[in-house]
Amino acid sequence: MIDIPYLTDQQHQVREIARGFAEREIRPVARDLDREARFPWATVKQMGELGFMGAPWPVELEGAGMDYLSYVIVVEELARVDASHSITVSAHTTLGTSPIVNFGTEEQKQRFVPLLASGRVLGGFGLTEPGAGSDAGGTQTVAVEKGDHYVLTGSKIFITHAGVGEIFVVTARTDPTSARSGRGITSFIVTKDTVDVDTCTAVGIGHAPDLPKTPGVKAAKKEDKLGWRASDTRELILQEAIVPKENVLGEPGMGFVNFLKTLDDGRIGVGALSLGLAQGALDECLKYTAERQQFGRPIASFQAVHFALADMATEIEAARHLVYYAGWLRQNGKPYKKAAAMAKLFASELATRATIKAVQLHGGYGYTTEYPVERMMRDAKVGEIGEGTSEIQRIVIARELLGDVVAVTG
Amino acid sequence: MKIAVCVKRVPDSEARIKIDASGKAIDEGGVKFVLNPYEEFAVEEALKLKEAAGSGEVVVISAGSDASQETIRTALAMGADRGVLLKTDHIPLDPLPVAKALAAELAEGGYDLIFFGKLAIDDYSHGIGPMVAELLSLPCVSAIAALQIANGKGKAEREIEGGVEVVEFPLPAVLTTDKGLNEPRYPALRGIMLAKKKPLDVKDVALETGGLDVLSLSYPPERKAGRIVGEGAAAVPALVDALKNEAKVL
Ligand SMILES: Cc1cc2nc3c(=O)[nH]c(=O)nc-3n(C[C@H](O)[C@H](O)[C@H](O)COP(=O)(O)OP(=O)(O)OC[C@H]3O[C@@H](n4cnc5c(N)ncnc54)[C@H](O)[C@@H]3O)c2cc1C
């Protein structure tokens, strides 16, 4: 067990709960979920009951009322066993729920957050578009004001939970004169029915029939992905969606500023996820190399293997403290943009390296689904892409270092 | 339904145990302590009974050092209502003084059921539950693996050598819990936050030493290395001979 002197007893206890749950409930099903690309409703329900779906949100809003590092530890520990479960929690919490907690009116919080924080309904964040990925300010989705509502038209792609979820924060351009710039983008809360109504009704979570749904919002085809296969990624279509003005989130025109803050949070989440993946890969290697015999002895007795394990462990430790540091800064109200970008950049690139190494140390067995390391390797790569690519993280970090000297885009 | 669950703080079963300088106790430094796993079953069963009844109170009681507050909080995080710590610096090896202190606390509590784990994984004495029952003149069913409570009566199953024993008993009663009784819940994160605000009474107690004393602790003997007696069918007679005459297992 990881024992870190600067964590509180409560944070250690949270780790134990998350690790115990992941080992007992997720490990036995992770391989099949990945192969079948099936969303794990049963374990998501349990995660809701345990408070994982709203760990950092106030108890009054049906969150668990935990500190931010406790949340980070939950995301890390889930990814140690299965990255899909981890991204489900992270995307739901930091992308889906946090904008409403951070920028919502009291009335919006009361209306949406308890459903989300308790895990009764899944949430997501629709920012990326076919023409606006790294260049998120290039949003083409338009929102036209009509009396007491807006009409939204556009397409959001690669949206986590677009299919399974019911509550989404989406961005759209409210000021057409400011095309291709961050100004004039507004955030909206939209709702739709989950695509899994029958399963949800059977399992008892995921669908809120009483929640009014936004006409014109629907999910399209599910992406067939390399990794995070048990997580739901789809296009979210806004087809003349009629969104009442009470669902405008934050100040009109402030959408760009707000989602940059949401992405900072998301980056700590992806950092924690990547850290957990790398730790999981190391743990698999420690077990396997001690058991696997070649040339009459365990392969862990070869010095080349020592070096690989030592490098992995050292980099993981470095990543862990970067991620926790970013979480600590956020928790204590300090600026954390640069730390979050560094944590995500370093941890996600490490996860790719460490999981590739893990497959290597497992030899041919590692290349089969008999061992989890091939799945970990596939799951790691997207950490370098989602919520801002590694290149974008470097741009963010350089901009923080250099200030406005570098007028780079991204 | 008012239920008491007595719990003990014990070293984690995976902890590496070191003997301290006195040679009579373990060195607690760096050792992780947990709620005695057999008492997780007890807490779970108490919570399930309360939930089924729709009302009631689950009180968690522990005798031990200040650190046992943590153990009590774990049970509170699972859902118990309040805790009582009978604070003492030293838990004697003899279970009787501990049983007396617990019995004194339990006597006036008006409990319908009093749960213990069937044993604590540190000393394996199995003693406290039955002793408390005796001190309070209550019926005691030990090592239960199934339980039903209805109309002021209980029915429990005990797994015994080669079968299952079914025992009926009147309430109030003392029960000690075995593996298989239930699947203990994880404390929810929300539960941990709520547990901080639940009442936990700390009462100083002075325990007698009792009639037992630890003379010394020692590590189990190291396991001897294995021996390969030969290969293939030709080795079978030598193996049979070794199993018969050396290991004496055949
Ligand atoms: C599984 C998954 C889940 C996702 N979930 C969500 C979600 O829930 N919500 C959401 O809004 N989005 C989500 N995304 C989208 C994700 O955020 C984008 O894919 C990502 O931001 C990159 O955008 P893009 O795919 O358009 O790539 P592009 O922006 O086209 O980038 C292509 C390449 O060009 C590089 N590049 C671009 N600009 C620069 C530059 N200025 N300097 C140097 N290099 C540059 C990039 O780094 C990258 O290597 C998800 C994506 C995936 C794969």
Q: Is the CB of A126 inside a 6 Å radius of any atom of ligand 1?
A: yes
Q: What residue ranges define each of the domains in chain B, with the CATH number in brackets?
A: 2-204 (3.40.50.620), 220-250 (no CATH)
Of A1, A9, A59, the CB nearest to B190: A59
In this prediction, residue B246 carries a pLDDT of 86
CB contacts < 8 A, A to B, total 40
pLDDT averaged over chain A? Answer: 95
The residue among A274, A247, A273, A272 whose CA lies nearest residue A99 is A247
Any B CB within 8 A of A4 CB: no
In this prediction, residue A182 carries a pLDDT of 66
Q: Is the CB of A184 inside a 6 Å radius of any atom of ligand 1?
A: no
Q: Which of A39, A134, A228, A390 to mutate to test the pocket of ligand 1 (most atoms within 8 A of CB)?
A: A134
Out of A76, A107, A387, A391, the active site residue is: A387
Task: Tell me how far the alpha carbon of residue A126 lies from the centroid of ligand 1, in angstroms.
Answer: 13
Ligand 1 atom nearest the C-alpha of A134 is: 29
pLDDT at residue A2 greater than cutoff 70: no
d(CA A52, CA A75): 9
* pLDDT tens across the length of chain B (250 residues): 999 999 999 999 888 889 999 999 899 888 889 999 999 999 999 999 999 999 999 999 999 999 999 999 999 999 999 999 999 988 888 999 999 999 999 999 999 999 999 999 998 989 999 999 999 999 999 999 999 999 889 999 999 999 999 999 999 999 999 999 999 998 899 899 889 899 999 999 999 888 888 899 999 888 888 888 888 898 999 999 989 988 888 8
Q: What number is the ipTM of this complex?
A: 0.76
Q: Is the CB of A125 inside a 6 Å radius of any atom of ligand 1?
A: yes
Protein residue whose Cα sits closest to atom 35 of ligand 1? A391
In this prediction, residue B249 carries a pLDDT of 86
Chain B residues bordering chain A (beta-carbon distance below 8 Å): 32, 70, 74, 77, 186-194
In this prediction, residue B168 carries a pLDDT of 97
- The residues, any chain, with a CB within 8 Å of residue B147's CB and separated by 6 or more, are B45, B154, B155, B156, B157, B175, B181
Task: Tell me how far the alpha carbon of residue A309 lies from the centroid of ligand 1, in angstroms.
Answer: 31
pLDDT tens digit sequence for A312-361: 999 999 999 999 999 999 999 999 999 999 999 999 999 999 999 999 99
Ligand 1 atom nearest the C-alpha of A227 is: 1
CB within 8 Å of chain B, chain A residues 70-129: 70, 74
Q: Is the CB of A88 inside a 6 Å radius of any atom of ligand 1?
A: no
The residue among B60, B96, B20, B30 whose CA lies nearest residue B11 is B30
In this prediction, residue A377 carries a pLDDT of 98
Q: Which of A385, A396, A399 to mutate to test the pocket of ligand 1 (most atoms within 8 A of CB)?
A: A385
Calculate helix-pair angle for A41-50, A83-90, nearest 10 degrees. Answer: 50
In this prediction, residue A410 carries a pLDDT of 41
pLDDT tens digit sequence for A222-263: 999 999 999 999 999 999 999 999 999 999 988 888 888 889
Model's pTM, two decimal places?
Answer: 0.87
pLDDT at residue A179 greater than cutoff 80: no
Greater model confidence, A52 or B246: A52
Ligand 1 atom nearest the C-alpha of A124 is: 8
- Known catalytic membership, residue A387: yes
d(CA B64, CA B135): 20
pLDDT tens digit sequence for A89-114: 999 999 999 999 999 999 999 999 99
Chain A: closest CA distance from residue B171 (Å): 33
Q: How many CB atoms are located within 10 Å of the residue A409 CB?
A: 9
